[in-house]
A and B are shown apart, each in its own frame.
Chain A
Amino acid sequence: MSKTIKGQTGDWEIVVGMEVHAQILSNAKLFSGAATAFGAEPNSQVSFIDAGMPGMLPVINRKCVEQAVRTGLGLKAQINLHSVFDRKNYFYPDLPQGYQISQYKSPIVGEGEILLDMKDETIKVGIERLHMEQDAGKSLHDQHPDASFVDLNRSGVALMEIVSKPHMRSSEEAAAFLRKLRSILRYLGTCDGNMDEGSMRADVNVSVCRAGGYEKFRATGDFRHLGTRCEIKNVNSMRFVQMAVEYEARRQVDILEDGGTIVQETRLYDSKANETRSMRSKEEAHDYRYFPDPDLLPLVLDQAWVDDIARSLPELPDEKKARLVKAGLSAYDATVLVAEKESADYFEAMLATGIEAKAAANWLNNEYFGRLNKAGLAITDGPVSAQANAAIVKMVADNTISGKIAKDLLDIVWSEGGDPVAVVEARGMKQVTDTSAIEKAVDAVIAANPQKVEEVKAKPKMASWFTGQVMKATGGKANPGVVNAILKQRLGLPED
């Protein structure tokens, strides 16, 4: 889907902003010493604090604060040395205290940015803020016909809410934002990014406006140039983000073109029906009565501590990409390789053996990733180690094997395992670079095909036919470069 939707009355622009809830990677919860592991027995990871028992008090987990700061630094954002925890008051069975401890007026992280590498351009999406808050528990509605069951294991787990500015303008950009954010968080080690387990959830704000409205908004900062937005809750995959935005934008355009108006509301994306639906139960006007949590003091950080965290930051995708491009990779290859931390790590492990970056990237992108995709395997589950793939690339580079043989070799190592160097040795896969052997083969082919020799003199491009015949005669092991050189000399063709 492009940035504009063609309507009967003219063009419409899509504008998307996102609020992402990311679970902070920590052993214990934000304000209690209960564990955070996924999938535990019901109510087994709940302290009396998480259950809102009388007289229980919160004490903050230093690691969670550090992770929030680390994430802020990774998003090139302002770190606020003074932030405040507020209570957001509302009643819900999985909210035991009757309020969520969050940061409302004074978040720990302010404005930052994320770069998105789209097909033809790099887009900068502004980050509005990042704040820490508690997760709620879980209500299960399918256990009993007229009862809901409440499990508080998630209650009190630390979350970061990361809020973007409305700087995305298509469903692809929305999905790319979530993908890039996830990548950064995983590089930083601040969130595991497991969307299936709910470690990352996105609320997507979608609006449409007349063509040109977005530019006016960017120029003035005036939201009135944008349309009324709808918030789509808890979209839990990149693909669903894309589909939800597409559906929702189209829905809004249809309403507007029929002369209707968009009602600001919360909607739910139903992935089975591929549609968004109004969440009627949330329609009751909320009044969260935020006020500073009197059980906690303002969170005051030392600049020196923040600086220490900054110094410990790993290389992030954008920097890694820049380094790889400098090392000779195309921007595209570099983008693909750094997108997932695991593939980047794999690639770095290959480079660590001393092979050339460009060759390694080509090999991974053209050969190994294709095989992984076909087998439906993640890079961490693939059967061939980074070192083995590097060894193959190295053997191609130093002419030990031909490119064609390399592919066969990968197939063997893929299915049978083993050290590629040893396999090449044992199966006699080394390419022939002995000129006398190749000369003999070339002479034999020329002698057997006098008519073709005449033809090639008129049409030099036909030389490749001879190359093929020689390669066939040598079982693919002849070095194609050497074959071509000898052929040209024997056939009296000009050098390139």
Chain B
Amino acid sequence: MSLPSSLTDFSLAEARDAVHAKKVSSKELATAFVKAIADARPLNAFVTETPEKALEMAVASDVRIAHGEARPLEGLPLAIKDLFCTKGVKTTAGSHILGNFIPPYESTVTQNLWDAGAVMLGKTNMDEFAMGSSNETSYHGPVFNPWRARNSNQNLVPGGSSGGSAAAVAGNLCLAATGTDTGGSIRQPAAVTGTVGIKPTYGRCSRWGIVAFASSLDQAGPMTRTVRDSAILLKHMASVDPKDSTSVDVPVPDYEADLERGVKGLRIGIPKEYRIDGMPPEIEQLWQKGIDWLKAQGAEIVDVSLPHTKYALPTYYIVAPAEASSNLARYDGVRYGHRAEGAEDIVDLYEKSRAEGFGKEVQRRIMIGTYVLSSGYYDAYYARAQKIRTLILRDFTEVYEKVDVLLTPATPGPAFGIGEKTADPVSMYLNDVFTVTVNLAGLPGIAVPAGLTENGLPLGLQFIGKAFDEATLFRAARAIETAANFTAKPAHWWRAA
């Protein structure tokens, strides 16, 4: 194994192997990433850095390694999306309403990671309450994509809502990061930052301790630089959790074991409805390239149809805000978080605290959700949307009788400029057009980097799998990764800044 010259260039797998072989200490790794994070503050990828905690955990890991007690992720520094509650470490969900909330508990997913030996570097920036596709709705300000177009100084969005995690992974500020995905919030930023991100099957990772956006759609997943790294990290994020009623009782397999099995004989569906009007030719070409690569590796390509695809996005924009309007009712300035000054009475306290605490997009979605659930509109909106969800899932169920996995583009285009799409909500929502269907159907989806635009910006492809068949997604994504040989890296322009 030839190791990268810089510690921060290690993949998670490389670092794991090096740490276990005692070629690199956990402390060295942590120190390198703590410095990288400090140098990368212009990216605004982190909202809370926890260098002391990182070093403390790393030193403890080194002791375990010395005693031959290394755990699977021993001493590997990770970044955590600020949506995961971390005991004793401020958790804001990118919102002002949580104020200086310090959770007295640890989310199941992060606890699983610490139990596996991982080290926490800090909390990453994100769209407020994970509502956004560009990381521009964060109370802590936008995150800049480490990638810039060739010969351009324009700052681009890193995608959202897990934009901070995506930027941290793409900018080598951590070995890997956690994200969450309600309508594409892992896959879409992964695609526009040239990284790998998987949204597992709903129920695969526990939602306990993750600040809720839309309960029936939210799912945590890994964001990494390689497919193998995602396979490794998901194994240790996922669990069957008695504290989450929607956590599914299916054992977590060793995803890494099957990774190199290839796609020979795999039936890969190409859903025609994903060929949308006005799709940039670059995306179309990338998709075709993906098909060709898979065919060349022995996969069987099958044209399929998912007729309700076009209704997924509007369906999502009823279901997700409805659940959010209820999930976010607890932020009322009474027990924690921001409380407005000078309230005259309790209603005034609520209205002022929430008006001051929630940003514009969150307020808008709460309003949408309240409206679609309100008396007289429930059947026309919410009930109808849930019926269409049934139809969307039925589309997949029927297609999966013919194919094992589906290949689609991950995003309708590459990263765009800061502020370019903030004026029109619907144009912003369209960024999730390829990713959102998967959430509505509860299925797993993975985004894998597949190439660059003419301007040198990364683009990704997406595989959609059967429920609890993440293993096949990793295999298929690995095949694309191998064929694409995506080695491009963003220039570290922020260090000069």
Contacts and interface: CB of A to CB of B under 8 A. Distances in A.
Interface stretch (B131-139, B155-163, B323-331, B398-406): B323-331
Interface string B234-272: 000000001111100000000000000000000000000
25 contacts: A51-B335, A52-B330, A53-B335, A54-B91, A55-B208, A55-B211, A57-B207, A59-B242, A59-B244, A89-B373, A91-B350, A93-B332, A93-B346, A97-B330, A98-B330, A98-B332, A99-B326, A289-B325, A290-B378, A291-B378, A294-B216, A294-B246, A294-B323, A295-B212, A296-B246
B161 to A, nearest CB: 16
A125 to B, nearest CB: 30
| Contact size range, B | 35 or more
A254 B208 CA distance: 56
A54 B98 contact: yes
Contacts of A54: 85, 91, 93, 98, 101, 103, 211-212, 330
Interface in A68-103: 87, 89, 91, 93, 96-99
A143 B344 CA distance: 18
Interface string A157-178: 0000000000000000000000
A381 interface: no
Contact of B246 (A56, A91, A289, A297): A297
A36 to B, nearest CB: 19
Contacts of A48: 104-105
Contact of B212 (A55, A60, A96, A296): A55
Interface string B93-137: 100001001011101000000000000000000000000000000
Contacts of B325: 89, 289
Contact of B326 (A89, A296, A297): A89
Interface in B319-342: 322-323, 325-326, 328-330, 332, 334-336
Contacts of A58: 245
Interface residues of A, number: 29
A261 B336 CA distance: 46
Contacts of B322: 291
B422 to A, nearest CB: 26
A445 interface: no
A60 B328 CA distance: 22
A41 interface: no
A358 B330 CA distance: 61
Nearest to B92: A54
The 4 A-B pairs with the shortest beta carbon distances in the complex, nearest first, are: A98-B329, A289-B373, A294-B215, A294-B216
B98 A289 contact: no
A55 B243 CA distance: 11
Interface string A210-237: 0000000000000000000000000000
Interface in B342-389: 346-347, 350, 370, 373-375, 378, 382
A287 B326 CA distance: 13
B329 A89 contact: yes
Interface of B: 85, 91, 93, 98, 101, 103-105, 107, 207-212, 214-216, 242-246, 322-323, 325-326, 328-330, 332, 334-336, 346-347, 350, 370, 373-375, 378, 382
Question: What is the interface of chain B mostly: helix, strand, loop, or mixed?
Answer: loop
A91 B333 CA distance: 12
Nearest to A47: B105
A57 B216 CA distance: 12
Interface string A257-299: 0000000000000000000000000000001011100111100
A57 B243 contact: yes
Contact of B245 (A51, A289, A295): A295
Given A54-B103, A55-B208, A294-B215, A99 B245 contact: no
A150 interface: yes
B335 A294 contact: no
Contacts of B212: 54-55, 295
B376 to A, nearest CB: 9
Interface of A: 48, 51-60, 87, 89, 91, 93, 96-99, 148, 150, 287, 289-291, 294-297
A93 B107 CA distance: 26
Given A89-B326, A98-B330, A57 B245 contact: yes
B361 to A, nearest CB: 19
Contacts of B215: 294-295
A57 B330 contact: no
A56 B208 contact: yes
A100 to B, nearest CB: 11
B171 to A, nearest CB: 27
Given A55-B212, A297-B246, 4 more contacts: A53-B104, A98-B328, A287-B374, A289-B370
Contacts of A289: 325-326, 370, 373-375, 378
Contacts of B335: 51-53, 96
A94 to B, nearest CB: 9
A162 B180 CA distance: 41
A97 B332 CA distance: 9
A53 B346 contact: no
A59 B346 CA distance: 30
A294 B324 CA distance: 11
Nearest to A139: B346
B245 A60 contact: yes
A52 B215 CA distance: 14
Contacts of B91: 54
Contacts of B242: 59
A289 B374 CA distance: 5
A285 to B, nearest CB: 9
Given A57-B244, A289-B374, A96 B105 contact: no
A55 B241 CA distance: 14
Contact of B334 (A93, A99, A297): A93
B210 A150 contact: no
A55 B107 contact: yes
Nearest to B210: A55
Contacts of B323: 294
Contacts of A297: 245-246
B329 A91 contact: yes
A394 to B, nearest CB: 57
Nearest to B214: A294
A48 B243 CA distance: 12
A294 B246 CA distance: 9
Given A291-B382, A295-B246, A53 B336 contact: yes
A443 B247 CA distance: 94
B208 A57 contact: yes
B486 to A, nearest CB: 35
Which of B212, B245, B346, B370 has the most chain A CB atoms closer than 10 A to its own CB? B245
A97 B208 contact: no
A294 B328 CA distance: 14
Nearest to B107: A55
Contacts of B105: 48, 53
A494 to B, nearest CB: 84
A422 to B, nearest CB: 59
Contacts of B375: 287, 289
B79 to A, nearest CB: 18
A54 B107 CA distance: 10
A296 B211 CA distance: 16
Contacts of B104: 48, 53
Which of A48, A54, A87 has the most chain B CB atoms closer than 10 A to its own CB? A54
B214 A97 contact: no
A196 B285 CA distance: 74
Contacts of A295: 212, 215, 245-246
A54 B327 CA distance: 9
Which of B214, B242, B326, B373 has the most chain A CB atoms closer than 10 A to its own CB? B326
Contacts of B346: 93, 148
B91 to A, nearest CB: 7
A105 to B, nearest CB: 11
B290 to A, nearest CB: 34
Contacts of B216: 294
A93 to B, nearest CB: 6
A93 B208 CA distance: 24
